[in-house]
Structures are given as structure tokens and as C-alpha cells.
Structure 1
């Protein structure tokens, strides 16, 4: 999965929830288990401090990003800092590849 694909999927999801964000950085590392392969993601996101952002991040456990050929297996906020009217989030995630039928 390309980094841009994952970033756009996150941005679309946030926008549907009423939050606007930008990606400051994104690092993706290939990940493999005995039966699955995918990527571990580390992102730094910046967004306006807003209840919509809080609601969106609170729902990460149920989030479906609709990424063809990939499932979101895990997504969590690892760190959150307020900088004036903006929030900076460090987000960690895991995507798993699958063959769509």
C-alpha cells in the first residue's frame, strides 16, 4: 500500500466525521506474520482542536477506511499535544493486505 493511499483514506474518514486534518509525516514499514502481510504506519497529524476530531479518534476501533485490497487491523493515538488552536496527533496503525474477491 502506498503511503498516499493510506493518508487519503484517513483524511476522507476524518472529513466524513467533520474534522479536517493534514499529514505532517508518515512512515510505513513492511510487516509480515506467518499468515498475513501488510504495513505498520506511524503518522503525525495536525488538525483544528474540535469536538469532531475527538469523536473521530474515539471511534478508531470501529473505523473502516474502505481501502481496496487492504484492511485496517489496528489504529490508535499514541500521543496527543495541543498547540494553540491545533492538535498534533501521533497515530500508529497496521494495515493488512488481502485479495478481494
Structure 2
């Protein structure tokens, strides 16, 4: 009977021993925008023009998609968990780096 598979930390790349504590994660980043820039009212013609510009542009459609929806799953070690928690759990009233 085979034992548990070896896991690798998605953040630091370290191989995790089967007896070592690890954390599963799912991270989803979704782009949102409440108001489009520009003076237009979002008419059908304006939207069709925008779509045409996007379709004819040099960018790969996958790049556009990843700017709107990016998702990753994996496992991380205890040390990397601490870094992630510090990064995502900022103190109340702190507006962050941006």
C-alpha cells in the first residue's frame, strides 16, 4: 500500500514531508470596475467599438482573461502561511500600500 504523495509548497518550492503540517489554499482574484472611464454612456455602438479594439489588439485573449479572473490552488508550508497571513491580514484602518 502506497503512502501519501509528496507535496511541494506553492510559495517557496520546498518539498513537504508526509508527516509535516501544510495548509491548502484557494486564491481567486476577480477584477471589477464600478464606472467606466470616458464620457460615453455605454451605448451599444461604443461597446461594439471597444470589443473590436480588443479583438484586433496584439494581446492574447488569455492575458485579458487573467487580468479579470485569476485562480490558483495548492498547498503551502507553515512558514509561508505566516507570510501570507501577514500580507493579507493588515491592521484595521490601514489602507495598505496602494
Structure showing the higher strand proportion among its residues: 1
Report which structure shows greater RCO (CA 8 Å, sep ≥6): 2
Which has a greater percent of helix? 2
Q: Report the structure number with the largest CA radius of gyration.
A: 2
TM-score by length of 1: 0.23
Q: TM-score, normalised by structure 2?
A: 0.24
